[in-house]
Structure 1
Amino acid sequence: MGLELLRRGTEERVRSMKRSVAWLLPLVWVLSSAGLAVAQDYAAALDGLLGNLGAEDAGKRANAVNAVDRLCNEATVPGAEADRAALCQAAAAKLAQANPMAQVYLLRVLERYGRNEGVEAAAKLLSAEDANVRESARRALERISAREAGQALAKALASAKDPKWRISLIHALGNRDDEELAPPLIKELGHENEEVRAAAAKALGKLGHKPAAEALSAAMGKGTPKTQAAFSDALKRAAVKFGVGRYLYRLEKQWVDYDPETGRFTPPKLPEPPPGEEEGLEEEKPEAYRLIDQLLERLKEKGLGKEAAKIVTRYGGYGKTPEETKRLYGELRALLKG
């Protein structure tokens, strides 16, 4: 009886997946120790969609994008880690053979759902001739949580020649909020380009750990007034990470004594921060919350932000129990599918 129920449930899942991507999704049956399971041939599915993803015809391209979206919806439900990994591996494998337009869409898949599966393939496209492909690869590596993604961005920064591209890579490193990436950012504080120095200061301010704060402090008073202002703002931002709080932004300016023999200023006397102003690092969100955030971003992109906000408000955020969180995710997915 139990095996029959399992078989029926599996067949229903197969029918659902077939409806999602029509005939493009071959299914491979696998017998595992846990019982009967079904694995999707994501590589074959993407093969069938690749040509239209990069098609000049807007209608064909839109249909292919929708098919990829449905494929992602099936592969990224909570608990389907094996499917998510298989999808991202397939997307990464197809990057090299795709045209630039299709590469952008595949990189979006890795940006939203990828981990270490797509780092190597995305990193190769940081030097692509097409500017849209380069930017999509940068954004994907900024969002992918794997440590290797940050290392790939740092390597690209070391060899970047164009100041604008250098600044984009600096922003990506700062947004990753990884203290291990501070050394290449600290090095950029001495770059010849003023905008690059300012961007590096802002990124280090986001990191806010001791080496970053020390580097910003040492750089104070150097460079143009614009650069000095950037260093000052970044140092204030770093102070938040130490629990000092945003009240620093509201402090009145003070005159302090300067000792010409030591070259040091007398530290100013700072008032105690108001209650509740101390700020620390945010705790990492649970996987279910992260998936909901990704769904919300996609709903906003499709112009469904208000409808999604009403659903989230009804649940009081992510939901008060795991069951509510699961129902919230289901409603948001249903809204996305239309």
Structure 2
Amino acid sequence: MPDPDAETAGAVEWALGVYVEQRLADAESVDPLFARDVAEKVRDFALRGGKRLRGRFVWWGWRAGGGAKAGPGVQSVLRLGAALELIQTCALIHDDVIDGSSLRRGAPSLHVAFAEDHARFGLRGDRADYGCSAAILAGDLALAWADDLVANLKIDSASWPRIHDLWCSMRDEMVAGQYLDMRAQADASSSPERALHIAHLKAALYTVERPLALGAALAGADESLASALRSARRCAGVAFQLRDDLLGVFGDPSVTGKPSGEDIRTGKLTYLTAVARTLSEDAGDTGFQRTMRQALGDPDLSDAGLDELRHVLEDTGARRATEAEIDSLVARSQEQLLQAFLPQPVHDRLSALLSAAARTPLTDKAFS
């Protein structure tokens, strides 16, 4: 196992690999066809790519809460990180079905892979329906594996109620954020405030805030430390989602691992596009407004049309405003982190992780 302090992502990956291999063996004992068609895909997806951001936050929440890098709880905190990677697997599989995304982590999305199986095996029925249905089941399996892993952690009985409450809250928030995201697409919302609320639920809480809280709770952190960390992680989490919005429009698909402009073609409400709408309306620029109306939610938007919208997002100042908001959120996060009065080495690593999560370069791989 890698040293978790020096190679946190590698240590979480190790714990994840050990666990999913165990669960694959369990699936084979249930039914070999199910194991081959579904469980293997879940295992492979979980282990394919990603920077283990949530697992890293769990580890450094644990260290911030006083957990020792070589203490008896190390295996539990790494397995908790692995559980978060599995709930992320569930979220991404289902998200790709909802959005109709064809690419994830540089490979076909799971519903596409299942549809390819349908064609390869000469199965009856509609290929796309089969792919989506099978992917939903695969996401459910990933969630079940995550829940089982948390339920069987070796945790101090005094810490368990807090861990359980945080885990349950995170699952509810994740589903709520996904639903509100979908609902905002359907009702064509353009409110920056609503975009930030969705970003808080869909990303800030389950990507940064809850993982850090889970790690700190596992270490038995007191309420004053938990409160200081809460403010820092909330700001960084929202900044993470705003950066992800920028990556979705301006990032290079060859390095982000997902198609560029997908949020635009599905008409997803993001802070970036909401601000662009507000700024173009305030300026009375009907040309910009028309371009946005035509592009947002157009599944057949051409690359040229996407480029035109990118220019609008630049020319209205929406991209600059979003980047300024990210910088402000990161600065506030760092200020709040100082209030936790952590040991310097732990503070430095956690500070760097919070900043890196929110300031991923547009040419770097997405954290998802």
TM-score by length of 2: 0.26
Higher helix fraction: Structure 1 or Structure 2?
A: 2
Q: Which has the higher contact order (CA 8 A, sep 6+)?
A: 2
The higher radius of gyration belongs to 1
TM-score by length of 1: 0.28
